């Protein structure tokens, strides 16, 4: 990202790359998880309406949202669609989706392709890897378990984790559940330098569980002092193990019973832990690090939808597949409808630990933008990059995602330009 863009898009929270494994052929960042507050009173366009629509892809958003569902005038929506078209064509990213929602309605647009081989057009309702936003789902489950009396957020993790896991955490006996949730545990990310990493290279197609990935944890040193914010995927991998221990069920069943099914999130799944009818968008990345010629930046992109080496897909730190519509519905249920959490639990989620960037709650980040207060979530994972932002003062929720895992700045730039179109330059 250029210096000019860094200044103009001041609300961007810099992604902190926390690779679960760093190999000679693979660099997979697990980025700093932010948070998102709700959409209030949004009337969403159903996925069924979109499937039954005969409107061509690039004309869909302008035509489908006319009338009562149109939150912005045609002049604005036309500019938003042209913005997407320009980024897909001139920046040569495979595809990009933008959703903007207010209490007056929803606008959704897309440009580019979901499958480079078959040249399949990307749809606004397609599914993608949501990366670190998974943490907010896991946080909600933990708060629900606390409401049920099954989990004490201020108890030490030793109360809930199996002994074989605790033996890997020699300096973490006094870490609490809350400190896992707000990334103040001081734990490191899994360490690829450990001898056991040879097991990973020897079995590239093995499906890694949270406990197996935690075998890579350093046992002697902390990443930072306890009570200091430092994002680490280890925190939410431990929470996945803890949820299974407390409920006697795997995370995928807990998520489906407590969130996916009640909210009818029909396009939301935990990857590799359950079937995904119809699959999801193809994700791309420079997997073998061959480099991208400046004149054709996507020429070396590899299809990493099913990567050659599984580095732990489908886990509690970044494993959910979803759509922009389902994510919006989830946020509304958490922060507006009060259908998932009691007010006291929501207050706990929004209680912030100082991180030098506006504060971090339980799976959620508070930030200030040039247009006012915001709650934001970013994610970059295998083949995908995304940003989600809610701005209470404008009653506006924005979702941008791309199926290019290397171009993590692209969603930020599209988000900034979209807000300038909608709200004007600050």
- The two tokens of residue 331 are 């946020």
Does any domain span residue 60?
no
Please give the residue range of the domain that contains residue 28. 3-50+70-87+94-423
Does any domain span residue 122?
yes
Whether pLDDT at 36 is above 50:
no
Between these two residues, 251 and 394, which has the higher pLDDT value?
A: 251
Q: What is the dihedral of CA 286, 292, 297, 301, to 10 degrees?
A: -30
Whether pLDDT at 25 is above 80:
no
Does any domain span residue 55?
no
CA-based nearest residue to 229, from 166, 276, 277, 184: 184
pLDDT of residue 204: 57
Does any domain span residue 253?
yes
Does any domain span residue 266?
yes
413: CATH: 3.40.710.10
Give the chain's domain count. 1
Tokens 């832990």 locate to 273
pLDDT of residue 269: 98
- Read off the pLDDT band of 193 (50, 70, 90): very low
Sort strands 95-102 and 384-391 into parallel, antiparallel or unpaired: unpaired
Give the chain's mean pLDDT.
Answer: 79
pLDDT in tens, 39-78: 332 323 333 433 333 223 333 333 343 333 568 999 999 9
Whether pLDDT at 253 is above 90:
yes
pLDDT of residue 69: 58
Neighbours of 325 (CB within 10 A): 24
Collapsed DSSP state (helix, strand, coil) of residue 419: helix
pLDDT in tens, 75-111: 999 999 999 999 999 888 999 999 998 888 899 999 9
pLDDT in tens, 137-163: 999 999 999 999 999 999 999 999 999
CA-based nearest residue to 305, from 279, 270, 338: 279
Collapsed DSSP state (helix, strand, coil) of residue 82: helix
CA-based nearest residue to 105, from 65, 73, 159, 142: 65
- The two tokens of residue 423 are 């709200």
Does any domain span residue 187?
yes
pLDDT of residue 19: 41
Predicted TM-score of the model (pTM)? 0.81
Does any domain span residue 78?
yes
pLDDT of residue 4: 30
Does any domain span residue 243?
yes
Beta bridge partners of 106: 101
For 285-293, what is the mean pLDDT? 66
């Amino acid at each position: 990202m250029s210096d000019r863009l860094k200044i103009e898009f001041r609300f961007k929270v810099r992604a902190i790359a926390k690779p679960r494994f760093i190999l000679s052929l693979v660099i997979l960042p697990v980025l700093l998880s932010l948070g998102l507050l709700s959409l209030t009173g949004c009337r969403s366009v159903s996925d069924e309406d979109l499937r039954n629509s005969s409107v061509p892809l690039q004309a869909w958003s302008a035509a489908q949202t006319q009338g009562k569902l149109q939150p912005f005038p045609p002049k604005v929506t036309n500019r938003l669609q042209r913005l997407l078209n320009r980024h897909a064509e001139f920046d040569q990213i495979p595809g990009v989706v933008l959703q903007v929602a207010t209490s007056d309605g929803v606008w959704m647009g897309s440009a580019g392709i979901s499958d480079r081989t078959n040249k399949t057009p990307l749809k606004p309702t397609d599914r993608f890897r949501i990366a670190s936003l998974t943490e907010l789902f896991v946080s909600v489950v933990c708060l629900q378990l606390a409401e049920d009396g099954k989990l004490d957020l201020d108890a030490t993790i030793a109360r809930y984790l199996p002994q074989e896991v605790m033996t890997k955490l020699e300096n973490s006996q006094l870490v609490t559940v809350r400190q896992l949730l707000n990334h103040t545990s001081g734990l490191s990310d899994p360490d690829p330098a450990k001898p056991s990493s040879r097991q990973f290279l020897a079995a590239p197609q093995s499906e890694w569980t949270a406990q197996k990935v935690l075998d890579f944890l350093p046992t002697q040193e902390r990443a930072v002092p306890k009570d200091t914010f430092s994002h680490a995927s280890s925190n939410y991998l431990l929470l996945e193990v803890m949820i299974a221990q407390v409920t006697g069920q795997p995370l995928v069943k807990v998520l489906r019973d407590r969130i996916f099914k009640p909210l009818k999130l029909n396009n939301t799944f935990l990857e590799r832990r359950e079937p995904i009818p119809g699959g999801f968008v193809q994700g791309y990345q420079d997997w073998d690090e061959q480099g991208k010629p400046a004149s054709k930046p996507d020429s070396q992109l590899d299809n990493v939808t099913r990567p050659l080496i599984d580095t732990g897909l489908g886990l509690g730190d970044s494993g959910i597949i979803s759509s922009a519509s389902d994510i919006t519905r989830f946020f509304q249920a958490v922060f507006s409808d009060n259908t998932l959490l009691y007010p006291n639990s929501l207050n706990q989620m929004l209680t912030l630990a100082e991180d030098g960037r506006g504060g971090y709650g339980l799976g959620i980040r508070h930030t200030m933008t040039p247009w006012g207060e915001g709650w934001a979530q970013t994610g970059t994972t295998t083949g995908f990059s995304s940003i989600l932002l809610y701005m209470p003062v404008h009653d506006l929720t924005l979702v941008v995602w791309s199926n290019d895992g290397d171009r993590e700045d692209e969603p930020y730039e599209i988000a900034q330009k979209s807000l300038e179109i909608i709200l004007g330059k600050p």
